């Protein structure tokens, strides 16, 4: 099977009036579909339950996006049985057929990109460009993993023992559980499910509570693309109920998790316990949070650096795992950078992403309250130069946190150490570049990080010593592209599974070595 060479999906530019008008049309079309009820999907059964989780527009919380059935432990049992049964067929389905499903799904999304963008704007508050970035990433994951499977799922050349025929091959693991966060509910949800699937596994997918409607839309795409029922089973529900049960279950072969550090570490510990009836060591991939930093030194292009800092910190209201939240600036350029960053933040528009404002509301009330706590702390740990408030919007009651810059934060302050996941940027002054390097590595996380400098020796030193999974030099630290920037963190940011990288599928396969004499 030959596919055209992989390339990242191009973005549509919504600053163009024609494209912006098309986006608004998609918003109007999707608005007529809001407020519906969604079932669980287990094998061929669509199970609509009384007990549902309501999903809301974070910028206008009275607007219900949809109500998604909330699975129980009994449904988890049922889904595991169905998935293991489906595995018997799916693992023997030809690689070409499995690959074709992903490629078809990518084509469906490409065709209806604006519709999925609009759902993202409604359900989690992404503006046009952010939603476009996510939909394109979903397409990229599907196209990239399809090609990865063609490269990896084939006989492996080994050396030959005399008198034997020796070979090896990758085979799938079995039934896995994918648990995903709300902030990339389409791209991560699809990528994390489809990488194991194309490798021959069957999946139970548990989306985040705040974003289960767009996840259902993703499942519809896969089924339309020809994925057999039972290969993917949609089990939305409470993390601590159905997610927890699946993690601990003896029939779960592997767990693929993206989310917060606290939940990820808990899952890591639970998955390590072998329970009655279990006959394998669970495979686990964890992609967790970050406290991502960027250094600006005195040799940097200060204008470009300030723009990159603002884009990295405030895109999607700072709610990316890769978002900049610690800006570390060498003393001699500190006043200038602070002024530039502050002025650029003042110019950002805050408001409804349906109207394509730059900074949207944070996802829910809990996140608003967490932001308030850190804004309070900002009064003692630093000096707020812009923003500083978090309040429900007077009319819409949306959870808006004003984009905030906190100057003069010290390296060990909570504002410089805790993941806040909100549009709050801590700016840390340091004496010189050497100190900056110490400060940037001084965190329990290690997801993204960066340096702005025009000094080649410093850029080289950062390549060697800045300890993050994704290092960015002289550019913003967000916006990893599938296939170009394999994505995953060091330290407590995760197991560095590198989504969108050449080895990602290997997490979901095991190598069988076969030696034959005569």
Contacts to ligand NAD by CB under 6 A: 179-184, 188, 206, 208-209, 239-240, 243-244, 247, 258-260, 263, 266-267, 287-290, 321, 419, 421, 447, 489, 494
* Residue among 271 and 311 whose Cβ is closer to ligand NAD: 271
* Residue among 239 and 502 whose Cβ is closer to ligand NAD: 239
**Shortest Cβ 206–ligand NAD spacing (Å):** 6
DSSP-based three-state secondary structure for 31 = helix
Q: Is 484 a catalytic residue?
A: no
Task: Report the C-alpha gap between 285 and 506 in whole angstroms.
Answer: 11
Within 13 Å, how many C-alpha atoms sit on residue 207's CB side? 32
Structure tokens at 362: 């944070």
Q: Which of 137, 321, 381, 419 is the catalytic position?
A: 321
Is residue 120 a contact partner of residue 113, using CB atoms and an 8 Å limit? no
**Shortest Cβ 33–ligand NAD spacing (Å):** 23
**Shortest Cβ 225–ligand NAD spacing (Å):** 24
* Residue among 53 and 221 whose Cβ is closer to ligand NAD: 53
From residue 68, alpha-carbon distances to 194, 237, 238, 488 in Å are: 22, 8, 11, 30
Burial of 460 (0-12, 13-18, 19+ CB in 10 A): exposed
**Shortest Cβ 469–ligand NAD spacing (Å):** 8
* Residue among 129 and 267 whose Cβ is closer to ligand NAD: 267
Is residue 206 a contact partner of residue 242, using CB atoms and an 8 Å limit? yes
Cite the beta strand spans of 264-368 per DSSP E. Answer: 283-287, 292-296, 324-330
**Shortest Cβ 367–ligand NAD spacing (Å):** 8
Is residue 66 a contact partner of residue 35, using CB atoms and an 8 Å limit? yes
* Residue among 270 and 298 whose Cβ is closer to ligand NAD: 270
Task: Report the C-alpha gap between 261 and 417 in whole angstroms.
Answer: 13
Q: Which of 287, 355, 465, 484 is the catalytic position?
A: 287
**Shortest Cβ 187–ligand NAD spacing (Å):** 10
* Residue among 261 and 458 whose Cβ is closer to ligand NAD: 261
Task: Report the C-alpha gap between 79 and 289 in whole angstroms.
Answer: 29
DSSP of 465-481: H---SEEEESS-S----
Q: Is 8 a catalytic residue?
A: no
**Shortest Cβ 431–ligand NAD spacing (Å):** 30
DSSP-based three-state secondary structure for 167 = strand
Name the DSSP class of 354: G
* Residue among 286 and 359 whose Cβ is closer to ligand NAD: 286
Structure tokens at 97: 């057929």
* Residue among 294 and 321 whose Cβ is closer to ligand NAD: 321
Name the DSSP class of 16: S
Q: Which residue is nearest to ligand NAD (CB)?
A: 239
Task: Report the C-alpha gap between 206 and 239 in whole angstroms.
Answer: 8
Cα torsion at 281, 283, 287, 288 (round to 10°)?
Answer: -10
**Shortest Cβ 204–ligand NAD spacing (Å):** 12
Is residue 360 a contact partner of residue 125, using CB atoms and an 8 Å limit? yes
For residue 307, the tally of other CB atoms under 10 A from its CB is 15
Structure tokens at 370: 């967490």
Write out the catalytic residue numbers. 287, 321
């Amino acid at each position: 099977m030959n596919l055209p060479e992989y390339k990242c999906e191009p973005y549509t530019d919504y600053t163009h009036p024609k494209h912006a008008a098309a986006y608004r049309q998609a918003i109007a079309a999707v608005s007529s579909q809001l407020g519906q009820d969604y079932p669980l999907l287990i094998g061929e059964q669509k199970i609509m339950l009384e007990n549902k989780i309501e999903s809301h527009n974070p910028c206008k919380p009275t607007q219900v996006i949809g109500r998604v059935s909330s699975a129980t432990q009994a449904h988890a049992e049922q889904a595991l049985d169905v998935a293991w049964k489906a595995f018997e067929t799916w693992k023997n389905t030809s690689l070409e057929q499995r690959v074709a499903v992903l490629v078809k799904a990518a084509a469906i999304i490409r065709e209806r990109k604006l519709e999925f963008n609009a759902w993202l704007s409604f359900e989690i508050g992404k503006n046009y460009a952010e939603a476009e970035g996510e939909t394109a990433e979903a397409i990229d994951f599907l196209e990239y993993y399809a090609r990865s499977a063609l490269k990896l799922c084939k006989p492996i050349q080994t050396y030959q023992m005399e008198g034997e025929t020796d070979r090896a091959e990758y085979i799938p693991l079995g039934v896995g559980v994918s648990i995903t966060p709300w902030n990339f509910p389409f791209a991560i949800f699809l990528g994390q499910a489809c990488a194991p699937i194309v490798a021959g596994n069957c999946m139970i997918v548990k989306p985040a509570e705040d974003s289960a409607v767009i996840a259902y839309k993703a499942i519809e795409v896969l089924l339309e693309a020809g994925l057999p029922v039972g290969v993917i089973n949609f089990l939305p529900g409470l993390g601590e109920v159905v997610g927890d049960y699946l993690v601990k279950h003896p029939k779960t072969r592997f767990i693929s998790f993206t989310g917060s550090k606290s939940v990820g570490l808990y899952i890591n510990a639970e998955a390590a316990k072998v329970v009655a009836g279990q006959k394998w060591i669970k495979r686990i991939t964890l992609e967790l949070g970050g406290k991502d930093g960027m250094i600006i030194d005195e040799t940097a292009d200060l204008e470009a650096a300030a723009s990159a800092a603002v884009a990295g910190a405030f895109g999607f209201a700072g709610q990316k795992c890769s978002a900049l939240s610690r800006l570390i600036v060498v003393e001699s350029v500190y006043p200038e950078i602070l002024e530039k960053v502050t002025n650029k933040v003042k110019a950002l528009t805050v408001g409804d992403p349906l109207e394509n404002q730059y900074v949207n509301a944070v996802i829910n009330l809990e996140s608003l309250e967490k932001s308030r706590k850190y804004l309070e702390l900002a009064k003692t740990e630093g000096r707020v130069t812009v923003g500083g408030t978090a309040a429900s919007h007077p009319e819409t009651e949306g959870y808006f946190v004003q984009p905030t810059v906190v100057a003069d934060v010290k390296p060990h302050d909570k504002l410089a150490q805790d993941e806040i996941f909100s549009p709050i940027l801590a700016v840390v002054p340091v004496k010189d570049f050497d100190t900056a390097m110490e400060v940037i590595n001084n965190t329990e996380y290690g997801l993204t990080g960066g340096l702005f400098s025009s000094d080649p020796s410093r850029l080289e030193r950062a390549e060697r010593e800045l300890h993050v999974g994704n290092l960015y030099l002289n550019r913003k630290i967000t916006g990893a592209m599938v296939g170009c920037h394999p994505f995953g963190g060091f330290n407590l940011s995760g197991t560095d599974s590198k989504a969108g990288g050449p080895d990602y599928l290997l997490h979901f396969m095991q190598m069988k070595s076969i030696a034959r004499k005569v």
